[in-house]
Amino acid sequence: MDKILRINVAAAGGPSATTESLGTYAGLGGRAMTTAVVATEVIPTCHPLGPENKLVFAPGMMAGTAAPSSGRISVGCKSPLTGTIKESNSGGTGGQYMARLGYAAIIIEGERQNDDLYKIIINKDGVTIETCNELRMLPNYPAVAKLQEQYGMELGYVTIGTAGEMRMCNSTICFTDPEGRATRHAGRGGVGAVMGSKGIKAIVLDPRGTAPIRKPKNDAAFKTSVKAFAEGLKRHPVTGQGLPTYGTNVLVNILNEAGGLPTRNFSRGRFEGADKICAETMVEIQKKRGGNPTHGCHRGCVMKCSGICVDEKGEFVSKQPEYETVWSHGANCEISDLDSIILLDRLEDDYGFDTIETGATLGVLMEAGYIKWGDAKACIEMVHEMGKGTPIGRILGAGTATTARCFGLERAPVVKGQAMPAYDPRAVKGVGVTYATTTQGADHTAGYAVAPNILGCGGKTDPLAAQGQAATSRDLQIATAAIDASGYCLFVAFAILDQSDTFQALVETMNAMYDLNMTGDDVVALGKSILKQERAFNAAAGFTQVHDRLPLYFSREKFPPHNTTFDVTEADLDSVFEF
C-alpha cells in the first residue's frame, strides 16, 4: 500500500481523482491513518456535513496479507452524531481489496457541486468516476445487486443506504461480505451521512489482476509468525471455541447471569426472555433450518463469528446478529422473538442504520410511550419509517439523544451523543469508564473492559468495584487503538491478553511483513500516539473533561439486581489519559 487516492467532489464537471505518495502518512494504516488525516486536514470546529470535513477509508496495515483475521478497514471523519473525531471499523471485502489495489487511504473531500450521485470505480488500471442516479434512494441490498449486475459478483462494493443519502446522524457505510451480501458495516457515528453529504453513493473495488495476497518483506519469518499466531487464536477458548461455535451472541447468557444485560432502556440487568434470544437457542434453530453459525466476515478469518441466518424455508435473511444487535432490540426493548430481531438486523443493514444506535433509540421511544414495550411489529414499522425519512423517521434517524430530547426524556443512555452498547456501566464499571472517556462517544470496542471484568481475560477484576477501573480502561484503550491500526480483528485481543506468545507472534507478523523491529513497547507507543491525536482534535473542537462523564442518572439510579450505581470518581475518570 504505497499511495493515497483523493476524490475532490468540488471539481468542475464532477468529482475528480488524483493519486499521490504517502508522504508524512507513510507507515500508517487503519485507525492510525484515519486519525492522522482527520487530525491534520480537518478543521476541528467544522460542521460534520460541511465542505471542511473529510471522509477517510484506510485498510489496516495487515489487510490483504495471509495473516489470519487481518482484513479490517477503518473509516474516519468528524462525526455528525458526536461532533468528535470518529473511527468506525468494519469487516467485509473492503479492506483486503483496497490493500491489494495498493491504496493506503481513500480521502473524499470538498463541497458537493450538484445533486447528482456518483460511484467511484477502482481497478488495477486506475480510477473512474461516473454518475449513478439510478441508485438514488435504493437501500443497500438492491443497490449492491444493481452494481453486481453491471460489474460482477466477485468485486467488493462500498455503499450507503437511504439513511446515508438523507444524511441521518445514525447512518452506516456498507461493505459487502465474501459472498457479495450487504452485511458488513462501519456502523457507529453517522459516517454514512458524511459520504452522503459528498454525493458518493458507491465505491466499486475491482481487485482482478492484482496479486491475491500481499507479499511480506521477510517471507520465511512471516510464515513462521503467521502459523504461531493462528495456532494461538485456535488455542484460546474464546477465539478458538466460543466465537466460532456461537458468535458474539454467546454473551447474552453470560451478561444476563452477571446482572449486566441492560433491560428496558437500562432499567435492570436481567431479561426474563434471555433464554429465547441467546446464542445457544439461535444456533440450534439455525442449524435445523440450514443456516450457518460459523462464517467469516472476510476471507482468512479463523474465528468466523459472523454466521448466516435463514428463515423457516431455508432462505437467507441476514447475517447472524451480533450480541449488541440482539441486546439492543431484545433485552433493551423487551423483545424475545429471534426472527423479529433477525429481520430488524436485515432492515437496518439495508437502509444503512447502526443497530446499536437504532435499538437504543427504540428503547427510548418505548419509554416515551410512543410504542409499547416488547412490540416487535411496531419496531419494524419504525425502522421502515426511518428508512423512508418520514417526520418520525427523521427524528429517530437522528439518534438516541435527539429522540430523547424530542420526547422530553432524561433517560437517554448516551455519551457525547452516541448510544451505549450492551453492557450497563453500573454492573460492568470498567466499560463505564470507557464509555465516559473514549474519544469516540460511548463505545465498548474502544476499551473492552468486559474482558477482565466479566470474562476473566487479561486478568480478573471485580466488575462492581470502582477501584482500578480507570487503569483497566486506559490500558485497553491504548491496546485497542493499536489493534485498529493493524487491521487485525479486535477479537484477537482475547488471545493476546492471555497468551504472551500469541501477542509476540502478532508483533512478529508485522515485523516480517514490513521489515520492522517493533516490540511490545512500540505497540503501546502507537496506541498512545493515536489517542493523543484524537484527544487533541476533540479539545480543539470544544470538548473538555466535563464531556468525559456518564449521564448523571447512572450515578443516581440503583441498578437491579446488584442495586449498584456508577461511582467511579471524576478524578479517576480524569486520570485515564494522564500518560
- What pLDDT shows up at residue 382? 98
Q: Quick check: 446 and 480 in contact, CB under 8 A?
A: yes
DSSP state of 443: -
CA–CA distance, 119 with 206 (Å, rounded to integer)? 13
Q: Cβ-count burial of 332 within 10 angstroms (0-12 exposed, 13-18 middle, 19+ buried)? A: buried
What are φ and ψ of residue 406, in 5° steps?
-65, -30
| Residue pLDDT, tens place only, 395-428 | 999 999 999 999 999 999 999 999 999 999 999 9
Residue 542, C-alpha cell as written in the block: 470544544
- What pLDDT shows up at residue 91? 96
Full-prediction pTM beyond 0.85?
yes
Angle at 485 between CA 439 and CA 463, to 5 degrees: 50
* Residues 6 or more apart whose Cβ sits within 8 Å of residue 442: 413, 414, 415, 416, 418, 419, 420, 421, 435
CA–CA distance, 68 with 302 (Å, rounded to integer)? 6
- What pLDDT shows up at residue 508? 98
Longest dimension (CA), the chain: 63
CA–CA distance, 279 with 362 (Å, rounded to integer)? 22
Residues of the chain with pLDDT below 70 are none
CA–CA distance, 145 with 50 (Å, rounded to integer)? 30
* All domains in the chain, ordered by first residue: 3-205 (3.60.9.10), 216-247+424-579 (1.10.599.10), 261-292+307-422 (1.10.569.10)
- What pLDDT shows up at residue 263? 98
Q: Nearest Cα to 332, choosing from 260, 254, 409, 422?
A: 422
CA–CA distance, 521 with 518 (Å, rounded to integer)? 8
* CA-only gyration radius of the chain, Å: 22
